[in-house]
Amino acid sequence: MLVTGGSRGIGAACARALADDGWAVALTYRTSPGGAQETVREIEAAGGRATAIGLDVNDARAIPGALEEATAALGGTVLGLVNNAGVRADDLAVSIEDDAWETVLDTNLTAAFRLTRQALRGMVRARFGRIVNVASVVGPRANAGQANYAAAKAGLIGFTRTAATEVARRGVTINAVAPGFIRTDMTADVLQNGALEAIPARRAGEPEEVAACVRFLASDQAGYVTGTTLFVDGGLSA
């Protein structure tokens, strides 16, 4: 199981939950090797198997090598992938610079496509695979100031649906989770701005609550669930 952006927040929680479910986990990091190593230590202390791999998901040429490294470290074909790595660069659509548009689309959408494309090679041959894309409630739902992020996450959901139909008969499932406001470093500024009042549950979600959904979608029990998006948003999108 490869989890991108696994050094902190939702990615780290996913790595822990999946390891707890018996997956050997390779988690990638870009800027936080310390966080990644800490997550690995936590997993190993709990009796699981994990390794940390440095990867800039925007470096297309590095992706095959990262999969190979994960395959070697995990002792077999990578049969699970969580595309979690993501960035924000918020602004009004009228003001978004090209760089901010491209960075957000590249990291949140294009990288997920490239990793999926690479991972599917082994999964299709193995007749088994689990891919979970971490999308967002933003995309299916509007959020002023995040047009680039919304475009990327809506695109990720569309990609999930179509790619899922292409490989379903090979025992490979592709699903998405769509978190709402989750308490992470990435949302600390948003949660301080009164966002909680708009959430029916009146609270932010925890990374572990997203990870629990990812864990289910990656499990054997979810073998007949594919192409769907599971919202984890306290009712925000209801």
Partner 1 sequence: MSTTVTPERVEQVVYGALESFGADPSEFSRTVTFEELDVDSLDLAELSQIAEEEFGVPLKGADVKGIRTVGDAIDLIVIRAQ
The nearer residue to partner 1, 117 or 203, going by C-beta atoms, is 117
* Chain centroid, CA 25 distance in Å: 14
Could you give the dihedral angle defined by the CA atoms of residues 112, 113, 114 and 120, in that order, rounded to the nearest 10 degrees?
100
Q: Which of 142, 169, 194, 221 binds partner 1 (CB under 8 A)?
A: 169
Looking at the DSSP assignment, which residues form a beta bridge with residue 25? Answer: 50
Task: Check: CB of residue 27 under 8 Å from CB of residue 52.
Answer: yes
Name the DSSP letter for residue 18: H
In angstroms, what is the minimal distance from the CB of 163 to partner 1?
A: 11
Q: Which of 62, 100, 124, 154 binds partner 1 (CB under 8 A)?
A: 124
In angstroms, what is the minimal distance from the CB of 170 to partner 1?
A: 7
Stretch that binds partner 1, among 98-106, 120-128, 141-149, 182-190 (CB under 8 A): 120-128
Q: Which residues, including other chains, have CB under 8 Å from residue 35's CB and lie 6 or more apart?
A: 7, 8, 12, 29
The answer to the question of residue 167 lying near partner 1 (CB under 8 A) is yes
Catalytic positions, please?
A: 149
Determine the residue type at 229: T
In angstroms, what is the minimal distance from the CB of 124 to partner 1?
A: 6
Binding site for partner 1 (CB under 8 A): 121, 124-125, 166-167, 169-170
